[in-house]
Amino acid sequence: MIDILSLIRKADLVGRGGACFPTADKWSAVAKALADKPVGQKDCYIICNCSEGEPGVKKDAYLIEHYPARIIDGMRLAMEFLGSAKGIFYLNPEYHQRYKKLLADEIRKAGVDIELFKKPHAAGYIGGEETTALNVIEGRRAEPRLRPPFPPAEGLWNKPTLINNVETFYNVSLVCKKKYKKIRFYTITGDIVYQGVYELPENLSIKQILKKTHNLPDFPFFVQVGGDGSGIILSDKQLTQSAVGCGSIRVYSMQKYKPQQLILNWVNFFKLESCGQCTPCREGTYRLKEALLEPKIDWNTVADLLDNLKETAFCGLGAAVSIPITSYIKNILATSPESKVNLPIGTKKIICSCFE
């Protein structure tokens, strides 16, 4: 019997769903919660989260198409480690329709009890948040739960629950077969020639990734890293760091986009995807859109609303609204000549002064 936990810890494996939480710590937490249960109540759930609702991220789809057996093997190993009798593969509606037969065949070959669960269309982006996924599977409203308790202790049906991303289970399989080489998957999109998902070393910088994939632009550009919705915006001078979150990189041409339209696009995404559970997010995203559609935008109001969302939103969705907008203003607008940012004369100074 292999010591799977030691192998995962030695590999420094972290979750690939965006949070980058150490995989061994999460598995250990579930194991501890099970150990504390009375005899006869030591059952739990293993969930593979394939919601993949962040715009621009397509790595989970790539993995299912190319390595379905590896993903199912990773789930099987987790089920054996925890003694769980039940696994759930949580798929967004598009992936469920596209891959249900492929995955069902692999599950049958592996001889494991894994259910393919179709996330409802109405669950949207927030349906990928792990506690929201639990509510959805239980037939409840698609909204995040108050934490603690955390899913490893009280998850699905109040049972200890392990929730990992598709890429994480894939990596677990590789680790246990001693084939893990610290490779991760990057989705590269935007104003480039070679869009797609790439397998590359996890320690590469953003610039190295763009170079290796022949996607480093020869024109003024900036990037959004971690997802096209909540990802941080970086200039072409800030590309020495590693890709974060889901390993997504979107390239934007400086001359192609108008700042106000970009900011409105991000706000529209969050407004559409807000579950409406908490007032700061429900009302804040509405007021942001309202402010951005005014003939003369009050940028102080925009800055105040973003700060409020960051500090008071119930879950990560509301708190993330400020990430692309604030980083775009500070890293792109503030550092670019006024003639290069597609704004009326004087507007750049007004906007940047509100975000100092």
* Domain residue extents for the chain: 4-176, 183-253, 259-353
Sheet with strand 183-190: strands edge to edge? 196-201, 183-190, 248-253, 221-225, 232-235
C-alpha pair distances (Å), 119 with each of 106, 132, 135? 20, 11, 11
CATH architecture, range 4-176: 3-Layer(aba) Sandwich (3.40)
User: Which amino acid is located at 77 in the chain?
Assistant: L
Find all residues with CB under 8 Å of 78, minimum gap 6, and list them: 27, 46, 84, 87, 162, 164, 169, 172
Number of neighbouring beta carbons within 10 Å of residue 228: 21
142 — phi, psi (to 5°)? -80, 85
Task: Give the pLDDT of the chain (356 residues) as one tens digit per residue.
Answer: 578 999 999 999 988 766 778 999 999 999 999 998 888 788 999 999 999 988 999 999 999 999 999 999 999 999 999 987 799 999 999 999 999 999 999 999 999 999 999 999 999 889 999 999 999 999 999 999 988 999 999 999 999 999 999 999 999 999 999 999 999 999 999 999 999 999 999 999 999 999 999 999 999 999 999 999 999 999 999 999 988 778 899 999 998 999 999 999 999 999 998 888 888 899 999 999 999 999 999 999 999 999 999 999 888 888 899 999 999 999 999 999 888 888 888 899 999 999 98
Domain 183-253 falls in which CATH fold?
A: Ubiquitin-like (UB roll) (3.10.20)
Cα 56 to Cα 320: distance, rounded to the nearest angstrom: 16
Sheet with strand 45-50: strands edge to edge? 114-118, 86-91, 45-50, 161-165
Residue with tokens 């995807």: 273
User: Which amino acid is located at 321 in the chain?
Assistant: V
Cα 7 to Cα 336: distance, rounded to the nearest angstrom: 47
- C-alpha radius of gyration, the chain, whole number: 21
- Strand, helix or coil for residue 223: strand
Helix H or strand E segment including 162: strand 161-165
- In CATH, the number for domain 259-353 is 1.20.1440.230
**CB 57 within 8 Å of CB 92:** no
Cα 17 to Cα 19: distance, rounded to the nearest angstrom: 6
Cα 14 to Cα 243: distance, rounded to the nearest angstrom: 14
